[in-house]
Each structure stands twice: as C-alpha cells, then as structure tokens.
Structure 1
Amino acid sequence: MLRALEIRDMLIIDRLELELRPGLNVLTGETGAGKSILLDSLGFVLGWRGRAELVRQGAEQGEVTAVFDLAPDHPARGVLEEAGLPVSDELILRRVNTRDGRKTAWVNDRRSSGEVLRALSDRLVELHGQHDDRGLLNPRGHRALLDAFAGAEGELAETRSAWSALSRAETALSEAEARLAAARAEEEFLRHAVAELDTLGPEPGEEAALDAARRRMQAAERIRDDIARAHQALEKGAEPAMGDATRWLDGVADSAEGGLEAPLAALERAMTELGEAMAGIETCLDGLSFDASALETTEERLFALRALARKHQVLPEELPSLAETLKARLDALDQGAADLAALTAARKEAARRYDQAAEALSARRRNAASALDAAVTGELAPLKMERAVFATEIGAAPDGPEGRDAVQFTTATNPGAPSGPLNRIASGGELSRFLLALKVALSERDAGVTMIFDEIDRGVGGATADAVGRRLARLAEQGQVLVVTHSPQVAALGAHHWRVEKRVADGATLSTVTPLDPTAREDEIARMLAGDTVTTEARAAARALLAG
C-alpha cells in the first residue's frame, strides 16, 4: 500500500506531502489544477519513462519520495532480495532529478537503478486509464490476466521449469551433434595420428635426454683419442722414470747425509699424485666408451621425435600430451554415438514433460476462460453495457516458457455486430468499463497492489458513473485504490478525498493538494455538480450522493 507521497520542486509543485490510506482515495479538481502532475511524480519515483522536463522553474533539482507498506508475503520483497537491498515492512523510494537531467534513485537509503525501480513498480502499482496500454490495449497482457483469474501459478511454474529443462536438453544435444560431426570429419586423421604416436611412444622429457646423450657421444668421439694418448704417455714414460729415479736416489741417500730426504719425499708425493691422475684419466676413458651403434640409435630416435613434432606443429616435449588429447578425441568419437543416444532420450523426456505441463496449463486456461467471460459479463450490465458480449479466445502460439496458448479478449458491443479484438472494437469509454469489469473479476488476485485509475470514468455520468464508483469501491475493499476523477458520483463513494487546485504566489503558479473534511467534501462535490456557482440544489444533491 502507498502510504505517503512527498514531492518537492516538480513542475508547478513546490512542496507537497500526501498521506494516503487504505480503501478508495479520491483526487478531484478543475482541469489543469495539477492532478496529472501527481501521477507524473509518482511515475518518476517508480522509474517510469515520462516527461523529460520535470524540475520546477527556478529550482536546482526536483525530488520525489514514496513510502509503501509491505505485507509479509508481498512480491516486492523478492525484488529487494534479488537486488541485494534491505527488506523491511516499510519501503522508501526516493529519486532526484537535477536541472541538467541527471537522475539518482535510492531504495531504503541504498543507491539503486531505474531498472530496479521499474521491477518494484510492477509489484507495487497498477496505473489504468482510458488509454491503458498495460491492461487491455496490449493483447500480450491478456494471457497474464487470464492466468491471474485462473490461479494458474502452479501450472505456470511447472511449465517454465519444463521449458528451461527442454532448452538445456536441446542445447546439450545440439552441441554434442556438432562435436560428433566435427570429430567424424577428422576421424581418418585421428586414427592415423594416434597409431603413429602409439608406435613411437614419446615419453615426457625424452627429447631433452636424447639430445644430451647425443651431444656427449659426439664429444667423446672427438676427445677420447687424445685422452688415451695422454694416458699412454704417462703410463710408458712418467711413471717408469719416476720409479727409476726413486730407486737410484734411495740407494745413495745414506751417503748423502740427509741431503736427499727432501727430494725423495717430493718424489713420493709426485708418485701419489701421478697415480690419482692416472686413475682419473682411466675413469674418464671408461665414461667415454660407447657402442658406435648407440649414437646412431640415439640420433634416429631423436630425429623421429622432432620430425613428428614438426608434423603436428608442437614442441617435442608436447608430444605425450598431444597423444593423450588425440586419444581422448578418438575415444569421444567412439563414445559419441552412445552419448548422442542418451542425449536424444533426455531431450525426448524433457519434451514429454513440457508437453504434459503445457497441456495442463492450457486446460486450466480453457476451464477458466468461460468463468472469466461470465464474471466480466455480469459486471457489464450495471455499467450500461448489458448488450455487450465479452469472450476470451484461446488459440495456438509457438511453444515458450508460458505455454503454447495465444489469448485474446474479444467483444461485440452491439447486437448483431461482428465480434473482434477488444482494442479495435471498444471505444475509449467502453474500454474503461471493460477494464473495470475485469479488475473487479480479478480483485481477489490483486491484493497488495495499489491500483490507480486516471479519469477512467470520463464520458460517463448518472447511473453509469455511480456503477463505476461502486465497482471502484469494491476493488478498494481488497486494498488501496487511487482515483483521479471529474465525476461527483465517483467522488462521493470515496473513503478519503483530496482536492487539487492551483494558486498564484509571488507571480508563480503552484499546485496544492488539500485533504477534505466532511463539510469541505460536500462543497467540492457540489462544485463538481454545479460548476463555478454552487446552488442550494447542488448542495442538496451532494449531500444525497454522500449519503449513498
């Protein structure tokens, strides 16, 4: 329910605070007094697209605040939760429009987007008038109205779920078919490549190891002969000479009276170092020994790895992972037929579930259509349209998340006249009364929504206007209805009444809204009946209307 509306510096409103209540709220006033500005301002704070220039002349910015009370199960709570906004029993919307056109919005004191405002608006407010494109003029909304009357929420949820599952199943099947077709196009290549890689059997790190071994063997060929000659020279020359020298010196050492001790010690050390050198050279020679065919085998393996890598345009070290990838693709090809059969079965089952859900929804709609026709027809007679025929036609539509039915409201407003789409046959005033009849039929489904009717009674008077007012009052019993009206019969049935009027202050035209007490209300209805000059008869008629 809309509890309060505060407007500052919007068009010809400098400051206005409107406290609204449950039931039928009536706004009256002369043409041009500013009633439409209230709706423009409310639409602005709800994110509706409307006038571009809203800021009052001379002001830097305009601002509108709307306060709503939310019941525990109000659908607006879901919008707030999805947007990550605070949720409470009170919803405060505030939106500012600067002189240069920038717009900023807050929801419960959190910055928000116009998209969130519009999502909240769809759950908070319905605006209807003689040119109501959200109700009857748009055939796309007829199905939603029928579903609301039918109470088809469960069937709709099941159909949407089944449609999502079917869409996923069809996507999975399509992607699998595409993958399988691509795999089959390269099947010959895959089988040849996998066989070739299996035959070669590349191992991780193998190419680097082979390259290092090859370089060692190539180096060994170049240096082994020189190392062997050095070993031979030491073995045949240095070692025997040093041995002979040691024996000769050792034989005369005693006669040298200690003069040969140092040379003999040095020769002993040299013999030890020479032995270590000989052992090291022998170890190196052993390491450089290899079978001549080993180099050829190593090179053949290395060159085969590199050739296969070039063929597949990868690095040699990537060959093992390439082999695994190609094997997986070949396995997928071999498994593809079985997977495709499973996905086809899943798609068939999803289609069966969708067919079942969509048919249940269609049945619910067909059963509700005749009841809706009867309910609307029952409301048309008091609205002076007793000869009109209202019918809900259900035809075929492409499958979708909301079923496979196209719903259209049709009418024949005069006996013998052909029926046709409501938006083509009915006049503006007739369309308003059709809408009102529909809203009364749907009143139990609209709890929690503030309904606004903008001069929906235009062009009717007398008993018809009274019937319109009584149906608006019935709608208001379920929650809150706000009516902008020029009809005294409608105004008299309101539970709460405000008068919108213009005044001139300091050369500026401003609009004000005044709540009316019983006396002022009688004066206003008398004015609506009589015009500028309120007569005694008009006052008596006003009292009679207010008395019911």
Structure 2
Amino acid sequence: MLLSLSIRDVVLIEKLDIAFRAGLSVLTGETGAGKSILLDSLGLALGARADSGLVRKGASQLSVTAEFDLPPNHPVRAILDEQGIEAEDMLVVRRTVGTDGRSRAWVNDQAASIGLLRRIGEELVEIHGQFDAHGMMDSATHGPVLDAFGGLNEDVAALRGAFRAWRESRDRREQAEAELARARLEEESLRFALDELETLDPKPGEEEELAERRSVMMHGEKLLEGMNAAFAALTQKGDVEGSLRSAMRALERIADKAEGRLESVIAALDRAAVEAAEATNLLEKASSEIDLDPRHLEQVEERLFALRSCARKHGTDVDSLPLLRDDLARQLRALEGGGEDIARLRREEQAAREAYLEAARALSRARTKAAKDLDKAVNGELKPLKLDKADFRTRVESLDESQWGETGLDRVAFEVSTNPGAPHGPLGKIASGGELSRFMLALKVVLARVGHAGTMVFDEVDSGIGGATAAAVGERLARLATDLQVLVVTHSPQVAALGSHHWRVAKAEVEKGKVVTRIEALSDDERREEVARMLAGAQITDEARAAAASLMVRM
C-alpha cells in the first residue's frame, strides 16, 4: 500500500507531502489544476520515462519520493534480495530528474537502476488512465491473470517442472547424438591414435626418468673420470680406511693412560673409517653403473623423443599420455555401445514429453473453463457501467509445438467488442479512452484478489458518463477498495461522494506571476462543499449543497 508521496519541484508543485490511507481516496479539482501532475510524479517514482520538462521553472532538478508498506512474502522482497538490498517492512523509492534530463534512482537509500525501479513499481501499483493503462494492457499478463483467477498457479508450477524435465532429457539426447556423430566421423583417427599409444605404452613419470638417464649417459666419460680419480684417492698411496684403523689402534693402546681424553678421538676415527669404507663401496658401485655404450644412449633418446613427439601431436604433455590413451579407449567403447545409449535416451525423452503434454493438456482444459467463468463475471459488470452493448471474452489459443513452453500450450488474450456483431480485438485497440478505463474497472472488480499490486490508481475512469452510470462506477470503486487501496482522479460527484478520503487539487497564486499547485485534505464539511461545487459548477447554491449532502448520505 502507498503510504506517502513527497514531491519537490515538479511543474507547478514546489513542495508537496501527502499521506495516504487504505480504502477509496478521491482527488478532485478544476480542469488544469494539476491532478495529472500528481499521477506523473507517482509514475516517476515507479520508473516511468523521465522528461526534463517536468522540472519546475527555476529549479535545477525535481525529486519524488514514495513510501510503501511491504507485507511478508510480497514479490518485491525477492526482487530486493536478488539485488542485495535489505528488505524492510517499509519500502522507500526515490527519483530525481535534472534539467539536463539525467535521472537517478534509489531504493531504501541504495542507488538503483531505473529498470529496477520499474520492476518494483509493477508489483506495487497499477495505474489505469483514459489513454494509458498498465498491467492488463500487456497481453503477456493475461495468462498469469487467468491462472490466478482459476486457482491454477500450483498446476502451472508443476507444469514448469515437467517442462524442464522434458527439455533436460532432450538436451541429454541431443548431446549424446552429437558426440556419437562426432565420434563416428573421427572413428578411424581415434583407432589409429589409440593403436599408436598402446604400441608406445607410455608410463607415468617416464619422461623424467629417461631425461635423467640421457643426461648421465651423455656425460658418462667425464663422470667416470671424476669417479676414478676419487676412487684412486681413497685406495692408492695408502688405504684411507686402513690408515684410520691404524691410528685408532695406536690410540687404543695408550687410552687407559689418558684418563678418558682419547675416547672421543677414537670414536671419531671409528666413524670416519666406517664412512670411508661406505663411500668407497658406493663410489665403486656408481662407477660400475656408468653406461658408455652409445647404442644404449641412442635407445634412450629414441624413446624420449618418441614420447615427446606423440605428446606434441596430441597437444598435451608426456605425463598425460596414459590418461589420453584411457580416454580414447573410453570413446571407442562408447561408440561401440552408442546406439543402445541413444535408444535409451530417446525413450526417456519421449516419456518426459508425454508427461509434460498430459499436464499441459489438463491445464488447457482448466484454463478454458476458467475463461468462461471470467467472461461471465466481467460481462456481468459491464451493463451498469454503460457498456451494455460490449462483450468481453478470454481467448485461449493453441500454440504451435515450437512455441510450447513452461506455462503450457496456450496463448491467453483478453478481447472486447464494443458493439453487437463487431469483431473482438485487443482492449487497447478496440475500446476508447473512457471505455477502456471502465473495462479495466470491471476486470479489476472481478479480479480484486488476483495479483500483488496493493494500490490501484484510476485517472478519470468516469469520463463522459454521469447519473446512474457514474454511481455504478463509484460503487465498484468502493467495492474494489475493500480489498485494495484505490486512488481515483474524478470529475464525478457520484464517485467523489463515495470516497473514504478526499483531497482537492487547486492552483494558487503565491506572488505576482507565480502560480503553484496545492493539495489539501478535506474535512466532512469541506467534502460536502466540494461535491456541491462539482454538482453546481462555479456558483454553489444551497440547492447544490443539499443535493451534495443527500448524495453523500445515499452513497
């Protein structure tokens, strides 16, 4: 529900703050007083297209702020969550427009796009004017409206799941067929590559091992020369180990006379002798493993270069060749059993398609029934609204298979005919401005509990009518206001008399040459005077006041 509207520097409005309440609120005033400015301002707060011409002369920018209450589970909360904006019990949207045409928007004091403002506005308010109506003027909303009217939302949700399951099974089948077709085109090359890899038989870590062996073999002579020199130093011109053992024995003979001073020396000589012996053995072993046969080096290089060449050919590294071999083998196995997999996926897809069609056809039948009920209810509201020659109908049209979707097999459209025998057509193209507003009123009375917008605005819905017809319009607006907040701009005293709250819009000259638009909430006595003015015109008579009082009592 709209709680308040603050307007700054919009056309003739310098500063205006309005607090709204539930029920039926009416705005009245002379033609040209500025009632449309209020609706334009509200539209700006809801993401309507900005026009720098709306900025009041002498001001640098206009500003409009609208405050709404936000019930739990309202769809706007999901939109805010999606945008990372904290949802509170109160929602504040603000819009500024500069004289340069630049526009900025905020939602709960966080900068927002105009597109986000528009999305939020569509969930909060519906505006219906003589020549501009939102919401149900968009044929894309007709299907969801009919589903909500018929209580079919759970069926639609289930159908969405069935549609996704069908599409997913179709995608799996198409992907498998594409892979199979691609594999069959590449089968010969796959088999050749697999044979090559199986013949090569690469092992994990083999490249590093071969590279190390090649490096050792390439430097074998130098390595052996250095090792031989080291071995000679350890074994020639006296045995290093023997010398260490001799020194150790010499010290052992006198150790008992040294009072323990030689024990650590003897232990160190023993360790050194052991290490020298081990070093000599290891060096001898290492030198014996040096392979100086050029044929062996050639074999290692051939193997290493073959592995690297194969890896380059397949665009991978040598260590990944074993995995590539396994993958190629898997692809060929899948190719051999691919026909069976495709047949299974086709059966799954057909089953999912049939499940979707069963649910979709049941929904189509339910929609057809709901459409008849909706047509009957709406047409029952038209006669009192001076639309007795008009006919409303809901067309449920079957779509081609290429257009089937998650909401079913149907296209839903609301159509009207304004004269007997005349063809039906879209609301906005067939009905005139005043007729369109009354059609919308009839629809909204029937669909009062459908949709999430808690506020409805009607701009001169009573245009061109009076008497009993205007009274019927007022009665329906009041009935609608029992479920929703309704704001109506009206020139009809019959409608104004039914308002729970009444504002008068008027121009005032605040200084020479400067005129502003002002709005004031009316007391009961002021309301009666305003209704009398609407009945009598410029000169309010006692008879008009009496008629206004009588009208308000009757209403």
TM range (shorter): 0.7 to 0.9
Mapped pair 1:537 → 2:543: yes
Mapped pair 1:456 → 2:461: yes
Instruction: For 1:79 and 1:376, locate their aligned partners in 2 and report how far apart those are by CA, in whole Å.
Output: 32
Question: Secondary structure in 1 aligned to 2:388?
Answer: coil
Distance 1:446 1:213, change over 3 A: closer
* Alignment check: 8 A CA contact 1:135 1:435 kept: no
* Larger mean Cα displacement after TM superposition, 356-365 or 108-117: 108-117
Q: Displacement, 1:449? A: 1.4
**Alignment partner, residue 30 of structure 1:** 30
Q: Displacement, 1:346? A: 3.5
Q: Displacement, 1:27? A: 0.4
**Alignment partner, residue 528 of structure 2:** 522
Instruction: For 2:180 and 2:522, locate their aligned partners in 1 and report how far apart those are by CA, in whole Å.
Output: 76
* Alignment check: 8 A CA contact 2:52 2:100 kept: no
Instruction: For 2:16 and 2:226, locate their aligned partners in 1 and report how far apart those are by CA, in whole Å.
Output: 109
Instruction: For 1:223 and 1:127, locate their aligned partners in 2 and report how far apart those are by CA, in whole Å.
Output: 94
Distance 1:227 1:64, change over 3 A: closer
Provide Cα deviations, 1:328-384, integer angstroms capped at 9, x if missing partner.
443444454444344333433332332233223212211111111111121112122
Mapped pair 1:404 → 2:409: yes
Matching of residues 257-296 of structure 1 within 5 Å? 286-288=288-290, 294-296=296-298
* Alignment check: 8 A CA contact 1:155 1:360 kept: no
Matching of residues 54-453 of structure 1 within 5 Å? 54-135=54-135, 137-220=137-220, 286-288=288-290, 294-334=296-336, 336-397=338-399, 398-446=403-451, 449-453=454-458
Instruction: For 2:280 and 2:476, locate their aligned partners in 1 and report how far apart those are by CA, in whole Å.
Output: 121
* Alignment check: 8 A CA contact 2:145 2:451 kept: no
What TM-score does the superposition give when structure 2 sets the normalisation length? 0.82
Provide Cα deviations, 1:49-71, integer angstroms capped at 9, x if missing partner.
24343332222332222122233
Q: Displacement, 1:82? A: 3.1
* Alignment check: 8 A CA contact 2:127 2:133 kept: no
Distance 1:436 1:331, change over 3 A: same
Distance 1:190 1:528, change over 3 A: same
Q: What amino acid does structure 2 have at the position aligned with 1:83?
A: Q
Q: What amino acid does structure 2 have at the position aligned with 1:372?
A: L
* Alignment check: 8 A CA contact 2:26 2:503 kept: yes
Question: Secondary structure in 1 aligned to 2:404?
Answer: strand
What TM-score does the superposition give when structure 1 sets the normalisation length? 0.83
Distance 1:482 1:212, change over 3 A: same
Instruction: For 1:104 and 1:230, locate their aligned partners in 2 and report how far apart those are by CA, in whole Å.
Output: 85
The number of equivalent residue pairs is 512
* Larger of the two Rg values belongs to structure: 1
Q: Which runs of 5+ in 1 are unaligned?
A: 240-274
**Alignment partner, residue 270 of structure 2:** none
Question: Secondary structure in 1 aligned to 2:127?
Answer: strand
* Alignment check: 8 A CA contact 1:134 1:141 kept: no
Question: Secondary structure in 1 aligned to 2:68?
Answer: strand
Instruction: For 1:227 and 1:25, locate their aligned partners in 2 and report how far apart those are by CA, in whole Å.
Output: 106
Q: Displacement, 1:25? A: 0.3
Instruction: For 2:105 and 2:529, locate their aligned partners in 1 and report how far apart those are by CA, in whole Å.
Output: 40
Instruction: For 1:499 and 1:29, locate their aligned partners in 2 and report how far apart those are by CA, in whole Å.
Output: 5
Distance 1:199 1:145, change over 3 A: same
* Larger mean Cα displacement after TM superposition, 119-128 or 532-541: 532-541
* Larger mean Cα displacement after TM superposition, 105-114 or 493-502: 105-114
Provide Cα deviations, 1:495-538, integer angstroms capped at 9, x if missing partner.
11101111122332211111111222122122222222223332
Instruction: For 1:285 and 1:80, locate their aligned partners in 2 and report how far apart those are by CA, in whole Å.
Output: 77
**Alignment partner, residue 265 of structure 1:** none
Provide Cα deviations, 1:206-260, integer angstroms capped at 9, x if missing partner.
234334434544554799799999999xx9x999xxxxxxxxxxxxxxxxxxxxx
Distance 1:65 1:406, change over 3 A: same
Instruction: For 1:170 and 1:128, locate their aligned partners in 2 and report how far apart those are by CA, in whole Å.
Output: 43
Distance 1:539 1:103, change over 3 A: same
Q: What amino acid does structure 2 have at the position aligned with 1:30?
A: E
Distance 1:402 1:131, change over 3 A: farther
Matching of residues 470-509 of structure 1 within 5 Å? 470-506=475-511, 507-509=513-515
* Larger mean Cα displacement after TM superposition, 537-546 or 454-463: 537-546
Question: Secondary structure in 2 aligned to 1:381?
Answer: helix
**Alignment partner, residue 267 of structure 1:** none
Question: Secondary structure in 2 aligned to 1:56?
Answer: coil
* Larger mean Cα displacement after TM superposition, 517-526 or 407-416: 407-416
- RMSD of Structure 2 on Structure 1 (CA): 3.4
Instruction: For 1:230 and 1:446, locate their aligned partners in 2 and report how far apart those are by CA, in whole Å.
Output: 95
Instruction: For 1:211 and 1:438, locate their aligned partners in 2 and report how far apart those are by CA, in whole Å.
Output: 84
**Alignment partner, residue 244 of structure 1:** none
Distance 1:215 1:74, change over 3 A: closer
Instruction: For 1:122 and 1:294, locate their aligned partners in 2 and report how far apart those are by CA, in whole Å.
Output: 82
* Alignment check: 8 A CA contact 2:52 2:99 kept: no
Provide Cα deviations, 1:464-503, integer angstroms capped at 9, x if missing partner.
1111111111101112100011111111111111011111
Distance 1:359 1:29, change over 3 A: same
